[in-house]
Amino acid sequence: MAPRKDFLRHIVNRVLASSKLPRQIVEDIRRMVGRAEDKYKFHAFGGDVRRLADYLKSQDFNELVSFLKNVRVEKGEESPIDVLRKILLEAREAYKDVPEIVAAIDEKLKELESETSEKKSKIELLYEDLSSLKDKYGVDVSLEDNRVVVKYQDRLEASISYNEETRTYTLSYSVKDEASFDTLSELKSMLRRLVELVRGKPHK
């Protein structure tokens, strides 16, 4: 049986080493986890890795989370909470046969996901939701100046904004396309649908 991975040395340190966090933040995380290791004895060298679950459910771990939430990062820099999430996911894989650790990690991941979603703006959440259109339809979706911009080739361009005061979304769009019709009735039917779409009336 292969030896257990050590949480601090084999998981935390490895993830931190590949992260883009400032050096001081990395050292602070190592110090806080190291202090917890001394207290809870969850190291793999003579300790009991199952005690990692106790740490994850403790106030000590909550203090680590609070510390990371308050770290200010510049735009484009890696989020400390995202790094913590990577650590938890790696730990979950390393200890997937230890039910109490898996349960504790899943609970923390759920909490982090919930808090992150609450802090995201409506436009950021919409962007994440519409991003699925990229793979499904080949549509280009981007976030620009607090707007979601959707483009498809040179035929469609749409911009979506959100008004916090009225709590409404505004969709601005333009469509460029052409079609050929065999009969006048087909042309008129298509034109009617386009007019009703622009006027905001559902087509029947």
Mean pLDDT per 10-residue segment, the chain (204 residues): 81 93 93 96 91 96 92 74 93 95 95 69 81 82 88 91 87 89 93 84 52
- Distance of alpha carbon 130 from alpha carbon 155, whole angstroms: 18
Range of the domain at 20: 7-119
Closest CA to 150 of 167, 132, 177, 168: 132
Count: domains in the chain: 2
Contacts of 66 (CB under 8 A, 6+ apart): none
Same domain, 34 and 127: no
Same domain, 107 and 151: no
Same domain, 64 and 44: yes
pLDDT digits (tens, 9 = 90+) for 60-83: 999 999 999 888 776 666 789 889
- Give the Å distances, CA to CA, from 175 to 62, 128, 160, 178, 197: 50, 23, 15, 10, 12
Same domain, 64 and 147: no
pLDDT of residue 177: 87
Closest CA to 69 of 13, 119, 35, 15: 119
Determine, yes or no, domain membership for 11.
yes
Same domain, 90 and 133: no
Domain boundary among 100, 119, 138: 119
pLDDT of residue 1: 44
- Distance of alpha carbon 32 from alpha carbon 101, whole angstroms: 19
Helices marked H in the chain? 13-18, 23-40, 52-56, 59-69, 80-94, 99-119, 122-130, 132-137, 184-199
Determine, yes or no, domain membership for 199.
no
pLDDT of residue 113: 81
Determine, yes or no, domain membership for 172.
yes
Determine, yes or no, domain membership for 195.
no
pLDDT of residue 25: 93
Determine, yes or no, domain membership for 1.
no
Same domain, 145 and 98: no
Determine, yes or no, domain membership for 201.
no
Same domain, 103 and 147: no
